[in-house]
Amino acid sequence: MGRYDDYKQRVLRISQRLSADGYFGSKSGSAGNVSMLVEGEDAVVVTPTRMQYDVMAVADICVVDFDLAPIEGEHKPSIETPMHIATYKARADVSAVIHTHQTFASALSILNQPIPPLFDEVTLAIGNVIDVVPYALSGTRELHDNVARKLANRCHCYILQNHGTLCIGTDLDKTFTFVELLEKSAHIYMQALATGKPITVLPEKTVAQLHAAVIARQDREIARKQTNH
């Protein structure tokens, strides 16, 4: 078994699940991308660019360093790899990144509408807001810079204006759950907005407590990584 095979298997498994569940916008296309940070290395394991998920194999997953130099794999990495690397550099608590084109969050992306704190279990998982990253063309430096600026809010999900989403976490399974919670929240928020009636959000004090718990969890993960390396 190769040095990065376990990472590659996990990236492939989650990518195919996201695709089969429709989170990439189509079940047969190649949109979206997934990566993991290699623990203790400046290297990422990432899906290849423009490859359908249902035909993707472990050997197709790429490993590149932070300068995009190839370490393993014969395909070009996702065009959004620099956005994933920018995320790992900006957020020491993050070891997994998922970029989707999921339906209801994408609807909010064209309304340029952040999701306020609506449910306590979602706020405890994702943080106090699901903010919108201003539009820039896919794969560009401008998009990576716009993302990097928003990451300072220490949340786990972002809506990319007129594009899709970015979900980040300590591992791929938890990040997959953030993708699901984001879609649930976006779906309910859209339905509620469509009634035209006023929407209630969580009380400010509760939001502050829940967000503090999110930050404390991140700080514990950063300390764990520092102890291990």
Instruction: Please tell me the distance from the alpha carbon of residue 2 to that of residue 17, in angstroms, as a whole number.
Output: 23
Task: Check residue 113 for interaction with ligand 13P (CB under 6 A).
Answer: no
User: Cβ of residue 5: shortest distance to ligand 13P, in angstroms?
Assistant: 21
80 is an active site residue: yes
Pick between residue 156 and residue 163 the one whose CB is nearest to ligand 13P.
163
User: Cβ of residue 6: shortest distance to ligand 13P, in angstroms?
Assistant: 22
Task: Check residue 49 for interaction with ligand 13P (CB under 6 A).
Answer: yes
CB contact at 8 A, 138 and 82:
no
Q: Which of 15, 64, 80, 115 binds ligand 13P (CB under 6 A)?
A: 80
Q: Which of 26, 39, 42, 50 binds ligand 13P (CB under 6 A)?
A: 50
Pick between residue 65 and residue 120 the one whose CB is nearest to ligand 13P.
65
Residues 7-26 that bind ligand 13P (CB under 6 A): none
Binding footprint of ligand 13P, residue count (CB under 6 A): 12
Catalytic residue among 39, 41, 72, 80: 80
Q: Mutual orientation of helices 141-150 and 81-90 as an angle, nearest 10°? A: 30
CB contact at 8 A, 9 and 1:
no
Task: Check residue 138 for interaction with ligand 13P (CB under 6 A).
Answer: yes
Task: Check residue 78 for interaction with ligand 13P (CB under 6 A).
Answer: yes
Task: Check residue 32 for interaction with ligand 13P (CB under 6 A).
Answer: yes
Pick between residue 116 and residue 139 the one whose CB is nearest to ligand 13P.
139
Active site residues: 80
Residues that bind ligand 13P (CB under 6 A): 30-33, 47, 49-50, 78-80, 99, 138
